[in-house]
Each structure stands twice: as C-alpha cells, then as structure tokens.
Amino acid sequence: MKQEQAICQLAQLAEEWGCGVKPQEPMKHHVTMRVGGPADLLLEVPTEQALRKVLLFCREEEVPYYVVGRGSNLLVSDRGVQGVVLLLTGDMRKIRREGNEIVCGAGASLASVCSFAREHGLSGLEFAWGIPGSAGGAAYMNAGAYKGEMHDVLIAVRYMTPDGQIGEYHGEELQLSYRHSVFTDTQYVILALRLSLHPGDPAQIGARMDHLMKLRCEKQPYDLPSSGSTFKRPEGYFAAALIEQCGLKGLRVGGAQVSPKHSGFVVNDENGTCDDVLSVIRLVQEKVKEQTGVQLECEVRLLGR
C-alpha cells in the first residue's frame, strides 16, 4: 500500500479507535517556537489500546510516526512532517498519588504534575516548575533546571515498543544522564512515569515554585515563542556566556534572533520560520567555534521534511 493511501486508511481507523483525527495539521500550533508546516496526519491518542493499534498499523504499512509532547525542545520544518504525529491525550494524561509517589501519564504537562505534587504536599519536583514540556518529554531528555533534574525523582518508566509490547525500566536501566535517557536511542513510546517524592508543606513547596518561576521570568524570554534553552551546556563552559562573549546577543535572521534577554535562547519574535531559526542556530555555532574553539551542540530536535 502506498504511504498516502495508508495514511488515509489510518485516519479512518483511528477515528473508530477513539482518536482525534487531524489531516494536514499545521505543526506551528503544537510547538512552543510556533513554527512548522503541516503533518500528513496528526492523531490525538487517548488510550494505550488505541496507541497499540496505531503503532501496529504504522509498523505493518511502514508509515513513520513521531510522538510529540508539548512541543518544547522541538523544531518542525517549514515543509512539514511526512507520516503521523501522535499526541497523547485522555487517559494518557491522568495523574495519581500512591503514598509518596506520583504516577502520571506521559501526556500530562509537567506543570500539571508539579501542581499536583504541591496540592498533595509532595516535595522534590519544584525545580521542574516552569519547564514547558510534557512528563514524557521530561523523562525522554532527563529535563532539569536550578540544580535539579528528573534523575533525582524518576524511578520507573512504562513504555510501549513499536510492535505493541509493554515494558518497564527501573532505576539505572533508564540510563539518565545530561539531556539523555535510554529512550533517546529507541523508537519506544513512553506511557507513564513513576516519581518518588517526599512529604512537605504545600505552602513552602508553593513558595519555592514561585521563587523559581520569578527567577525564570527575570532571566529568560518567557514573553516570546522559543524552544527553551537552545544549546546543551558544553563541558567546562556555559553556552550563553560563550554566545555573549562572541558578540552574538541579538543576532537576527528574518523573524528569529538570539534573545537580547538571555543568549542561550533563540526566539521567534517577528513571525519567523523554521529556516530562520535554523539559520540563527548555525550562525551561532559557526561563530562560537571560530572564536572560541568550542562546538555548541543543539539541544533542540528537528522534525520534518
């Protein structure tokens, strides 16, 4: 079956399986940088059962698929995405408490998990307040900020393989390191996370979260579309300091620029395109390498044609 025909058939079947179906969906509505052309098909997948059916169909018909969380740390090509984009919704966003642990669906926003922890008097996740991603995305890349990271609280992850099998990784099996996990090297889909926290006073937890959010808003360009921190921290250096040292703060290509507020962020401040953003990233990498000898590695993933 040709891929175009397979995608049309999948759209019909997915509706029967309870999925939201959006052909030719503009991806700029689903990434925090607000750039990107249309996906051939976007599916909002509400259950593990529906996800299994989608993955098995994609495997059988050789249709590429991509799971997208809240679209942070992600750029989508102006030419769009060939294949199927999956958003985890419904049951895949539920959150519950088990003693001092939280179990949450991969599709839940990290913000909602942080709020749940505060409301239930569970401390340890405050560092993640303000990270604009999903729980699954945070596990996938071992997200972190302000001297905390998912490694500190994540004890298990439930996942599904491309052939629909369900498994679970625990502890060291997760291979968590700087912006990396076992999942960054596989096509496995993260289903749910188990977080180990400790009891705390909700008011104190909230105060800590408010303090960290205040720091973020003071130092980072929260008022403009971005993909979060654009570059990984090079060993022994800080990316933002190197970029500023090279006189690149405010560097612009089209509607994208290095943020004048924080050099570690590329922002979309004038209806920029993905190509604009990529041009800024490449220029920064070239200039920093040329002037300092340090190769900046992009933290943001590129998806699409």
- Is the separation of the CB atoms in 84 and 66 below 8 Å? yes
Distance between CA atoms of 181 and 175, rounded to whole angstroms?
5
Give me the active site residues, please: 179, 229, 299
Q: Quick one: how far is CA 148 from the chain centroid? A: 17
C-alpha closest to that of 271 among 231, 219, 229, 224: 224
Amino acid type, 298: C
Mapping DSSP to helix (H, G, I), strand (E, B) and coil, where does residue 74 land? Answer: strand
Q: Which residues contact 71 (CB under 8 A, 6 or more apart)?
A: 27, 30, 31, 32, 33
Distance between CA atoms of 265 and 248, rounded to whole angstroms?
11
Q: What is the largest CA-CA distance in the chain?
A: 58
- Is the separation of the CB atoms in 138 and 110 below 8 Å? yes
**212's tokens:** 């960290």
Distance between CA atoms of 193 and 139, rounded to whole angstroms?
8
